[in-house]
Amino acid sequence: MQFKTKSIRPFIGSKNLAESRQFYKELGFNESILSSNMSYFSTENFGFYLQDAYVKDWIDNTMVFMEVENVEEFWESLVALHLTKKYPTAKLVPIRHLDWGKECFLHDPSGILWHFGAFTPQ
């Protein structure tokens, strides 16, 4: 099967929609409110739907990988936002160097695990 993909937009949940909306705006995503219980967040060619839905097993097993140009610069920007002070359940994990590249991690206020990484050039 052949097709042209325009985008992939995962749906993620939130324990507290208002808190999560603010969190993602602070991360630099642009919000488009779609309804009282769902927003679309985007930056350049990437986006996701944030919904007012919390299922612990789902949230605890949701991971999103976002490729960034420079992990070190991205990490410094994350640290400068002081997200773990503003959002007590948010967690940051420093950069790890792996065989395929490097990445750092961020748990959002609901527990969604974000991987921010860059691949080693081949």
Helices and strands in the chain: count of H runs, count of E runs: 4, 8
**Positive or negative CA dihedral for 91, 16, 67, 31?**
negative
Q: What is the model's pTM?
A: 0.93
> How do residues 57-73 score in pLDDT, each as one tens digit?
999 999 999 999 999 99
> How do residues 26-41 score in pLDDT, each as one tens digit?
999 999 999 999 999 9
